[in-house]
Structure 1
Amino acid sequence: MIDLRKHLLSTTVVVGLAALVPAALPAAALAQDTSSTSQDDKDKDKAADQVEEVVVVGSRIRTDNYNAPSPVQVITRDEATLAGFTSTTSLLQGTAVTGGTAQINNAYGGYVVNGGPGANTLSLRGLGATRTLVLLNGRRVAPAGSRGSVGSADLNVLPTAMIERIEILKDGASSIYGSDAIAGVVNIVTDKGVDGVTVAGQYNFTNDANGGGDENRFSIVAGTHGDRWHIAGSAERYVREELSLGDRAFTSCPTDSYADGSDYIDPNTGLSKCFSLNSGGVTINTIGTSTIAGVGATNAVGTSFNRWRPNSAVTTGLVGFEGVGNSATNTSVRTTYDPDMLNTSLITPVDVTTGYLEGSYDLHALGNAQVYGEVLVNQRQSSSTDYRQLVLDYAKGSPLIPSNLAGSTYASSSQGLNPGSAVGVRAFIGFGNTESQQRVDFAKELAGIRGDLFLPDWHYDAYVSYTRSKSIYTTEQFLTDRLQKSLNVVKNADGSFSCVSTDANCVAAPYLTSAVIGGDLPQAWVNYVKQDVTGTTIYDETVASIGFDGPLFTLPAGQVMAYVGAEYRKSSIDDTPGIDSQTGNTWNYSTSAITRGSDSVTELFGEVEVPILADLPFAKALTFTGSARWTDYESYGDDSTYKLGLVYQPFEFLTFRGSYGTSYRAPALFEQFVGATSGYVSSSNDPCNNYGDVGTDAIVAANCASEGLATTFTQTSSVAVITSGGVDNNLSAETSDNLTVGLILQPKLPDGWGKLSLAADYYEIQIDNGVSRIGYGSILSLCYSSAAAEFSADNGYCALIDRNASTGALTVHDSYVNVATDVVHGIDYTVRYTNEFGPGRAIFNLGVTQMTERYSTLFADDPVLDEVGTIGTPEFSANFDAAYAFDKWTVHYGIEWIDAMGYDQYYLKNYGYTLASLGYDAEVSDYYLHNASVQYASDGWTATAGMRNLFNEEPPTLSAGIVSRVGNAPLYSGYDYVGRTFFINLSKSF
C-alpha cells in the first residue's frame, strides 16, 4: 500500500476544507493495492483514519480535529520531489502558494532589494515579505541577508531535507503570532519520526543547448532514539549554476519592441537595435565635448555634434571621430552594446550548505517534562555579474587630451572628476563585467522544556532561542579619489605621464585614444583605480517564550480549550558598509551609511476555542474561536490585536467558516535605522527644468522663479535621492483589518464514485498607517505644486528638498514614514477529487486564486487605482495536479497557470487612453507551465524522474518602458527563465 498522504498531498489541499470532518482527509488521501485485502491492511487503514492531537498553524491550541475558521494550505516534501523542485524557495514561490504575485528570487541579482542580492523571500497576497511571517516548527525564523535593509526571513536558510510538511495560513494572525503576520503565516514543520539514515540527491538540468541554470542537491538525513531520548538531523548542499543573458534567446537581444514598429533600426543589421538605451544598453565607445562641427555618423542629423564615436575614416571636421549626438539626433545612433553585456546574470549562482539537528530527552520529572533543542546552521555564498560603464573625465588643459580636442569644454568645474577644473572631454567607456559577492552565515540555537502542569490535561512549553546572521558582501568599485589622482598628471620628457600625487602607488590615467574610448585600458591602471569594497551586516535576535494550554471547562458540545502565553524578543542590526561606500568614494555608484539600531518587545497573549453546538439537527458543529494579544515595543509603544472566528457545520457535507481580526506590523529595524543611502535619478525629474516653456503649471513656474532660477534653467546634474530610516519621524506600527469567509462542500457520492471536496474563501485585507517612503517624485511634485505661501525650504514637503544655490542641483530626502494604505480583496477556490480506478487510486486537485481588488495609496485624498490585471498582479492564477498511484508506481502531472496581464485597460480606466494607442505593446498573454514525473519506490529506495516546463514555454514579451524587463520579458517571478528542465531524484534509506 502506498501512502499518498506523504506523496500526493497537493499544494491545493486546504486543511480547513478536508479535515473539518476528522476522517475525511486521511480517507481521501489513502490509496491501497486492491489486490490485497488482508486484515493487516485493514488495520493500517483504520489507524490512518485516526487523527492525532496536533497543533496546526493558525492556532496554538491542541485539538483532535481541524476546526480552523481560516483556510490552511499544506504541502509535503515528497510533493515537491514529484513536481521537480530542488529547494524550499522554488516550492514556496510557486503560483499555488503566492497566487501569482511577484516574489524576490534569484533573477534580482542586479537590483536593490531588501535582504541584499541573493536573498529569497516570500510575499503572500502581494503585500510584501515584511508582512508575511515565516516559522520553523511554530517559532519565528529571524531575518538574514546583507546590507542595511535586512528585514525578512531568507528562505535559503531552511533545512529542506528535514521538512515533513509546510503549512500556509493565508490570513492575518498577529493576535496569535505577533508582528508581521498580516498577509499570512508559513510554518515549516520538520520530520519528528526520523529513525535510520536516508541519503538523497537530485539533479535538474536544462534542455537548452546553451546550458545554464542547472541545479543539484545532495542530503543526508539520520535519526535514532532510545527509551527516553531521540535525536535527528540533516546535512545538505544545494548548488545552482549561473544563467546569463547570453544563454537565452529572449534576453540576448532586447529591443524596444514598440507595437507600432517605431523601434530604432540599426543600420548595421537592418533590424531593431539590440540593447538600445531603452532596452538595457548604455552609452559606450563615445566621448562628450562642447559642440564642434564635423561629420555625422549614419542616421545622425546636422553638421555639429557634442557626442562622438571614433572613426579612423573621418579626415575632415573632427578628424578621427564621427558625430553621434546633438539635440536633433536619436540617442540610439550611439554605441550602446558590448558583447560583455551578455555575461550579465539572468539568474545568479548560489551555493548553500545547511545543517540541522534536533533532539529531546524525557526527564521523568517536572510533570513528565521533556527537554528539547534545535540547532540550525546555514551558509549561503552567492554572486552576480553585471556590466559597468566607466565615465572618465579629462580636465580642460590636461596633457592626456589630444590636441584636436584641446579646445573642448564639456562641463563646468563643479562637475566631474577634477575638482576646480572644467571637464574638457568626458569619455563614456564600456569597461566590461564586474562582480558582487555575498557570504551569509546563519545560526539559530534553541533550547526548551515542555511537560504537564498540575492542572488536569494542562501543558506548558517554554523555550529560549538565539539567532545570528552575519554577512560579508563585496562589490568591485572605481574609487573616486584614485581616479582623481590618476587623472592629475604631468607629461614626462619621454612622452609618458606621471601622477602629480605623492601616492607612490598612483598609476597615471591613459592618454585619450580610440582604443581607450573603446575599453582597451592598461591593466596596471585598472588595478589601481578599481578595488573591492567590502561591508559587513550582523543581525541578532533573542527570544524567550512560555505558554500554557489545556481545557477550561466542559460544555454540552465539548471542552472549552484555552492557551495563554508570554514572549520577549530583542533584535538588533549592525550594517557597516565599506569605508569607501560610507564616504561616497565610489564613482557613479550609490553611497551607504551605517545602519545600526535595536528594538525589543514584550507580549502577553491568549486564545480560546468554544464548542457551542454539536451533533444536533442543523448543527453538526458550531465552534467559536477567539484570540488577543497585548504588545509593548520599545520603539513605538503598546498596542493590542484580536481575532474572532466561527465554524458552522449544519450538515456533515456542508461547512461555513469565517474570521475577522486586527493585525499589526512593527516597523522593521531597517525602516527605523537604515543609514542614509544616496542614489541618483535623471535630471529631467527637476520640476524647474525649462519651466518657462508653454504648458508649465503656473504655480510650479512661480515657485521656481522664487528660487531665483531663470525661465531657461536646465538641470545638468542628476537629482540625488537620499533614503534614510524613520526613527526620527516617530514611526508607529502598521495596523490592518482582516476578514475571511468561506464555505466547504463535501457531498456524499454514490458508492464507487469517489470523494469530492470543494471550498471557496473570500478575503479582505486593509493595511493603514503603512510604513513606506513617499518617493522622490511625489515629494518634488507636492512641494513645487504647493501655494506660494506654503512654498518654503522649511515647510511641508519642501523641507525634504535641498537646492544648491550656485549650481541649482537638487537633493531629495526620502525617509520612511507612516503614510500608506494597502488594500487587497480576493477569492480562493479549491477542488479535490479522489477515486479508485483499476489497480490504484487517482487524486485530482485544483486551486484557483482570484484577486478582485488591489490598490495602494500614499495619502487619504489619492485616487484609487486598482492594480488587478497589471504585470505582477494577475486577476487569476491556478495550479492543477493529477496523480495516479498503483503498486510501487506513482505518475504525476501538474499545470501552473497565470492569467494574461497588462496595462491597456488600467490606463483606459484611469487616464482615458491605452498604451497601445501610443504604440506600446503593454499586454502579455496567459502563461502555462506543465510538469510531469514518474516515481518508483521499493525496498527503502525511491527514484523519481520527470520534466519541468514540459513544452519549453518562454516568458511573454512586451515593449520597453512599461515595467522592468529582463531581455524582452517582464521581470516577474511567475515566469520560467530557464526553460525545459529534466530532473532525477534518488533516495535510499537504511
Structure 2
Amino acid sequence: MTRKRLLATTIIGGLAMASAGAAVAQTAPESDSTEIEAVVVTGSRIARPDYVSNSPIVSVGQEQLAKTGSVTVDTLLNQMPQFVPGVSGTSNNPSNGGQANVQLRGLGSNRTLVLMDGHRIVPSNSDGTVDVNLIPSAIIQNIEVITGGASATYGSDAMAGVVNFKLNSRFQGLQVDAQYGITDAKDGEESSISITGGSRFADDKGHAIMSLSYSQRGEILNAAREFSSVSGASATSPYGRYDASGTNLPTQAAMNTVFARYGIAAGTVANGSNLGFNNDGTLFRNGTNYRGSTAIDYSTIPTTGNYNTGPLNLLQLPLTRYSAFGAMDYNITENVEAYGSFNFTHYDSRTVLAPSPAAAATGFSVNYNNPFIPADLATLLASRPDPTADFLFRKRFTDLGPRISETTFNVFQLSTGLRGQTGFRDWTWDLFGSYGKSEQNEIQRGNVSRAAVVSLLDAADGGASICSGGYNPFGLQPLSAECASYIGRVTKNYTGYEQRAVELNFQGGLFDLPAGEVRAAAGTSYRSDKYTYVPDSLLSTGDVIGFNANDAMVASADVYDFYGEVLVPVLKDLPFIKALNVTGGYRFSDYNTVGSVSAYKIDGDWEVVDGIRFRGGYSRGVRAPSIGELYSPQAQGFPQIIDDPCAIDSRARTGANAAAVRSLCLSQGVPSAIIDTYTYPNTQVNALIGGNPDLKEETADTYSVGVVWTPRFDNPLFERLSASVDYYSIKIKDAIGTVDAGLALTKCYDGSAGSSFYCGLFNRSSATGEILTLQLTNLNLATYETAGVDFQIDWGFGLGAIGLSDDYGSLSFNVVGNYLDKFDVQSLPGEPIDKLKGTIGNTSVSSVAVAKPEWKVMSSATYSIGPAEIGVRWRFIDSMVDAGDSSEKIKSFNYFDLNGAWKVTDMVEVRAGVFNVGDKQPPVFSSNIQANTDPSTYDVLGRRYYVSLKTRF
C-alpha cells in the first residue's frame, strides 16, 4: 500500500483525568466504587479503570483559571513552576504579534505539544507552535499537563511534554460569564463576556453545545511605568549622527576649533568621535554640548548620547477577541457514535516600536556638499584627507511616528469522527479527521523607503524639487507632510497555516495474567502541514527601513505514523507489592523531510502498599525540524547585544586578554585610527536569520522517577493529605537553534578552541569597525540538558479536625514547586558546557532567552465556609544572576495574591481578587529581554484588581 493511500491516525484520546480537588493535582485517590469507568491516562493511550500515571502530571481546574482574573489562559500556566514563560501578552519585542505561546522546562514552545481534547490544534507559526489564545476558555474543564518526553505517545513536538486543554463538552443548561479587571495605575483594562448553552436531544441520543465569547485587553506603554520609561538606549537618534570613518578622519585641530566655539577645551572630543546635530547646527558628542530636548524620549542623550527608544514601546499588548465553539455527538447505534466540533477565533492585536532607525548597515552615504550641511560639520569635512568623500549618516525617522504592527488573526478548525465498540472483548475504535487553518494579516506602519530618502539626500536642492521643503536631516528639523508621505511606506503581509489530519486508533484488553489483564493500543495517522508567507512586495525588495525584510515562502511537510503500546501487569497482592505494572510503547514515523525516525518508551508503576506508589521510566523522543526551521527564507533581523567586544569600554577590551582582543579586532577590519576610541553605537546588530534545509531531527532521552503518597489516615486532620516528588532528566541532542548574537561575539574573542567558528559568523566595516552582518541561520547544534525535581503537597480538612466544628468551615492548602538541578547548553560538540542554572537573560542557544531560577514555588491557602471562600496565593521566584554579567545579581521575588468567591444562589456566583498585593516592581538587569527586565517572568503591570459574575440557568 502506498503512503498516499493511507488513512490514519491514532486517537490522541480523551485524556480524561479526575480532578483531585486541589488547584493543581498530580494524583487522585482511587474510588471505592467497584464500577469504575475506564479512562485514558495522560501519557498513555490505553484506557484502564484505575487512575494511575507513570509520569509527572499536573491538572489545573476551571476554578483556578477563574482566580487569575485574566482573559487569556497562558497567565496561570506561565506562573506554574513546570513552565518557563516565553512569548505572552507582555512580549512586544520579541513578539509573535500578540500570540500567547507556552513552553515546558524552558526548552522552547516548539518542543511543547498543545492539544485540545486530546487532538492537535492548527499551529499559527512556521515552527509549528500553537497560539493558546485560540482556546475557548469559557468551557475549559481542566488543563492536563504531562511534563517529560512523550514523543512515543503523541509524536513529534512532545519532547518537553504535553499541554492538553480538556473542554466541558457535556455541559447542559445556559451559562453567562462576565469579568472586568484594571491595574492600580488605572490602565490595562481587561473585560470579557461569554454565553454557553448545551442540551441533549433526540431522546438523549445526542448532545450539542455552543459557546460564544468576547474579550478585550487594553494596552500599556513602557512610559507608564518608572522601571521601563528609560529603556532601549540607541545611538541612532532623531537628531541624526555623523559617523567618523577610520580611513578618512577630520583633523584633531579642526575638531578642537569647532568645539572651542562651544566653550569646550581642546582634546575633549577626539577626531574619531561620532557626532550628533543640535537644531541650531552645532554638534554634540554624548552629553557634550547637547542643546536638545530633555523630555522622556530624549532623556538619555544629555548624559550618554543615546536616544531613549523605550517609552513608545508597549508593556502590555492590546487584544480584542471574538470566538465561537460548537460540538455535537450522536449515537447512531448502540455501538457507534458520531461526533464533531468547530472552533473559530478572530482577534486583533498590535505591537509598537520606536520610530524607524537607519543604523548599522542601513545608514546613508551623504554627499559632502549637501545644501543642508551645518557650517561646523562642513569645517570638519573639509579637514579630512579626502574632503570631497561622502560620509556615513544615521537617523531615526520620528516624523513618521512609531513603527506599528497591527495583526488580525482568523483561525478555525473543523473536526469529525466515528467511534465505537469492536465486539471483541472491550476493544474500542476511533476514526477522527480534522482540518484547520490559521491566517494572519499584518499591516505595518512607520516604514521608510531607503531609495526615497537617498533621492532627497542626493538632490542638489536637498529634495525641494521633489517634495515641499526638501529634507534637512541635521537635527530635529520639521518635515513637511508631503515629504513624510514621500519617504513613508505602509506594508501588508499575509501568513497562513493549514493542517489536515486523520487518525485511527484501537485499544482494549488482550488476555489475563495472574496479576491482571494485559491491555494494548495501536493505531496509525497521517498529518499534512502547509505554511504560506506572502510579504509586501516592498519588503521583498529590501528597500524598507523599519520592520524586518523577508522573502515569500510556501512550504509543506507530511508525516505518517504507526504506533503500538502495551500494558503488562507483572505482580500483584504480594508483600510490599500490591501492584507492579510495566508499559512499553513504540512509534514509527515517516517524514517527507527527514525520512524515517523511531521513538519508544518503557515505564512502570509500583504500588508498595495502600497509599504509596513509585513511578518512573525512560523514553527516547524525536522531533523533526519544523517547516520554518527548514525552509524559512534567510532574512534580516536585529538581535540585541550587551556590548561589542571590540569597543574600548567593553569587558573584553578591559580584561586579562585585552591585547589579544585588540589585535583580533584590528585583523577583522576595525581601523587602527579609531581602535582605541571605538565605541559600539547600537544595542542591536544586523543579522541574517532563516532556515536550513539540511537540518536533521533532534533526539531526546528522558528519565523520570518519583513517589506518590496518598496516606489513608483515620484522623480527619490528615485524611485529605497527599504528596508527590518526581525527579526528571531531559537531554536533547542535535538541538535545532541559532547561536545567540551575544554568545557568538563573546566566544569569538574568548580564545577558546571554537573561536574561529564564531568569528566566521560575522564581518565588520573597514571604515567604522562596526559589525555589518551576523550569520545566525538554523543549525543542528550540540545539546540541551536539564534536570530537576517537581514536588507537590495537597492538604485539606474541616475545622472540626482541630477541635472546633465543621460548621465553621474548612481549610485547604496546595504547594507545587520545582527545584532546578541543571540547565546546561553546549553550543558545539567539544565546546565547554554553559551552566545556566540560576541565570536569566540573553546568552544561550535559543531564539528566546528564558529565566532559570533554582527554585520556583506556587502555594495557596483557602478558607471556605458555606457558600463563600477566601484565599491567598504566594508565588516565589528564586534569585538569579544576569547571564550576560555574572556580577549582576537579581534578588528573589515574592508575590502575594488575594481571591474570594461567593455563591449568592445556586445560579449566581461572584468572584473578586487582587493580584500582586504588594505592588512589587520587576528587577532591572543588563541583558534584559525587553523593557529593562523580563516581562514574561516578572509582573510588570503592578497591583491589579478583578471582579467576575457567573450566572447559570
**TM-score bracket for this pair, using the shorter chain length:** 0.7 to 0.9
Aligned to 1:119: 99
1:484 aligns with 2:454: yes
Which one of the candidate residues 251, 270, 285 is aligned to 2:239?
285
Aligned to 2:247: none
Taking structure 2 as the reference length, the TM-score comes to 0.84
Aligned to 1:941: 908
Contact 2:22 2:794 in 1 (8 A): no
User: Structure 1 residues 534 and 191 mapped into 2: Cα distance closer, same or farther (>3 Å)?
Assistant: same
Distance (Å, rounded) in 2 between the aligned partners of 1:452 and 1:231: 22
Letter in 1 for 2:237: T
Distance (Å, rounded) in 2 between the aligned partners of 1:175 and 1:551: 20
Aligned to 1:737: 701
The unaligned stretches of length 5 or more in structure 1 are 24-45, 255-274, 313-318, 415-419, 500-505, 908-913
Which one of the candidate residues 322, 326, 329 is aligned to 1:353?
322
- How many angstroms does 1:380 deviate by? 2.1
1:923 aligns with 2:906: no
1:820 aligns with 2:782: yes
Taking structure 1 as the reference length, the TM-score comes to 0.81
Contact 1:213 1:242 in 2 (8 A): yes
1:518 aligns with 2:464: no
Aligned to 2:510: 552
Larger mean CA deviation between 187-196 and 890-899 belongs to: 890-899
- How many angstroms does 1:786 deviate by? 10
Aligned to 1:181: 158
* Offset from partner CA, 1:570-623 (integer Å, 9 cap, x none): 111111222222221112653222233111111100111122223333222111
Distance (Å, rounded) in 1 between the aligned partners of 2:87 and 2:113: 15
Distance (Å, rounded) in 2 between the aligned partners of 1:8 and 1:935: 22
User: Structure 1 residues 87 and 509 mapped into 2: Cα distance closer, same or farther (>3 Å)?
Assistant: same
Which one of the candidate residues 22, 35, 38 is aligned to 1:10?
22
Distance (Å, rounded) in 2 between the aligned partners of 1:949 and 1:789: 46
Contact 2:671 2:767 in 1 (8 A): no
Which one of the candidate residues 202, 208, 219 is aligned to 2:194?
219
Equivalent residue of 2:49, what SS?
Answer: coil
- How many angstroms does 1:661 deviate by? 0.8
1:372 aligns with 2:333: no
Aligned to 2:635: 677
User: Structure 1 residues 6 and 628 mapped into 2: Cα distance closer, same or farther (>3 Å)?
Assistant: closer
User: Structure 1 residues 50 and 76 mapped into 2: Cα distance closer, same or farther (>3 Å)?
Assistant: farther
Aligned to 1:137: 117
Aligned to 1:363: 332
Distance (Å, rounded) in 1 between the aligned partners of 2:348 and 2:754: 55
User: Structure 1 residues 540 and 561 mapped into 2: Cα distance closer, same or farther (>3 Å)?
Assistant: same
* Counterpart mapping for 1:537-576 below 5 A: 537-576=495-534
Equivalent residue of 2:735, what SS?
Answer: strand
- How many angstroms does 1:847 deviate by? 0.9
* Offset from partner CA, 1:663-704 (integer Å, 9 cap, x none): 111111111011111235789858799999996677995897
User: Structure 1 residues 666 and 488 mapped into 2: Cα distance closer, same or farther (>3 Å)?
Assistant: same
1:229 aligns with 2:200: no
The unaligned stretches of length 5 or more in structure 2 are 1-16, 244-249, 291-299, 800-805, 841-850
Equivalent residue of 2:40, what SS?
Answer: coil
Equivalent residue of 1:591, what SS?
Answer: coil
User: Structure 1 residues 459 and 833 mapped into 2: Cα distance closer, same or farther (>3 Å)?
Assistant: same
Letter in 1 for 2:796: T
- How many angstroms does 1:217 deviate by? 1.1
* Offset from partner CA, 1:395-419 (integer Å, 9 cap, x none): 32122334554455499999xxxxx
1:764 aligns with 2:733: no
Which one of the candidate residues 551, 560, 577 is aligned to 1:602?
560
Distance (Å, rounded) in 1 between the aligned partners of 2:880 and 2:796: 33
Contact 1:925 1:956 in 2 (8 A): no
Contact 1:224 1:230 in 2 (8 A): yes
* Counterpart mapping for 1:718-757 below 5 A: 720-727=686-693, 730-755=694-719, 756-757=721-722
Equivalent residue of 2:163, what SS?
Answer: strand
Letter in 2 for 1:767: I
Distance (Å, rounded) in 1 between the aligned partners of 2:124 and 2:708: 38
User: Structure 1 residues 299 and 60 mapped into 2: Cα distance closer, same or farther (>3 Å)?
Assistant: farther
Distance (Å, rounded) in 2 between the aligned partners of 1:490 and 1:703: 38
Distance (Å, rounded) in 1 between the aligned partners of 2:157 and 2:952: 39
Aligned to 1:196: 173
Letter in 2 for 1:93: N
- How many angstroms does 1:662 deviate by? 0.8
Aligned to 1:73: 58
* Counterpart mapping for 1:95-494 below 5 A: 95-98=80-83, 101-111=84-94, 113=95, 116-145=96-125, 149-208=126-185, 211-226=186-201, 227-253=204-230, 277=233, 283-288=237-242, 292=255, 293-295=257-259, 302=267, 320-325=281-286, 333=303, 336=306, 341-364=310-333, 368-388=335-355, 390-391=357-358, 393=364, 394-402=366-374, 405-409=377-381, 422-423=390-391, 430-431=398-399, 432-476=401-445, 477-491=447-461
- How many angstroms does 1:536 deviate by? 0.9
Distance (Å, rounded) in 2 between the aligned partners of 1:708 and 1:299: 32
Equivalent residue of 2:852, what SS?
Answer: coil
Equivalent residue of 1:671, what SS?
Answer: helix
Distance (Å, rounded) in 2 between the aligned partners of 1:784 and 1:303: 30
Letter in 2 for 1:654: I
1:986 aligns with 2:949: yes
Which one of the candidate residues 478, 482, 494 is aligned to 1:536?
494
Aligned to 1:503: none
Letter in 1 for 2:613: T
Equivalent residue of 1:922, what SS?
Answer: strand
* Offset from partner CA, 1:116-148 (integer Å, 9 cap, x none): 221211111111101110000101122115xxx
Equivalent residue of 2:237, what SS?
Answer: coil
Contact 1:405 1:425 in 2 (8 A): no
- How many angstroms does 1:854 deviate by? 0.8
Distance (Å, rounded) in 2 between the aligned partners of 1:593 and 1:559: 57
Equivalent residue of 1:610, what SS?
Answer: strand
Which one of the candidate residues 918, 932, 947 is aligned to 2:899?
932
Identity across the alignment (%): 25
Contact 1:765 1:823 in 2 (8 A): yes
User: Structure 1 residues 616 and 702 mapped into 2: Cα distance closer, same or farther (>3 Å)?
Assistant: closer
Contact 1:473 1:535 in 2 (8 A): yes
1:52 aligns with 2:37: yes
Distance (Å, rounded) in 2 between the aligned partners of 1:512 and 1:327: 20
Aligned to 1:876: 855
Distance (Å, rounded) in 1 between the aligned partners of 2:61 and 2:629: 35
Letter in 1 for 2:793: V
User: What RMSD over aligned residues (CA atoms) do the two structures have, in Å?
Assistant: 3.8
* Offset from partner CA, 1:322-358 (integer Å, 9 cap, x none): 53259999986355456x9533211111112111111
Distance (Å, rounded) in 2 between the aligned partners of 1:323 and 1:798: 34
Larger mean CA deviation between 546-555 and 393-402 belongs to: 393-402
* Counterpart mapping for 1:938-977 below 5 A: 938-958=905-925, 961-967=926-932, 970-977=933-940
Which one of the candidate residues 55, 58, 67 is aligned to 1:82?
67
- How many angstroms does 1:249 deviate by? 2.6
Letter in 2 for 1:200: D
* Counterpart mapping for 1:710-725 below 5 A: 720-725=686-691
Letter in 2 for 1:974: T
User: Structure 1 residues 688 and 429 mapped into 2: Cα distance closer, same or farther (>3 Å)?
Assistant: closer
- How many angstroms does 1:955 deviate by? 1.7
Contact 1:561 1:610 in 2 (8 A): yes
Distance (Å, rounded) in 1 between the aligned partners of 2:428 and 2:881: 54
Equivalent residue of 1:498, what SS?
Answer: coil
Equivalent residue of 1:527, what SS?
Answer: helix
Distance (Å, rounded) in 1 between the aligned partners of 2:61 and 2:284: 63
Aligned to 2:802: none
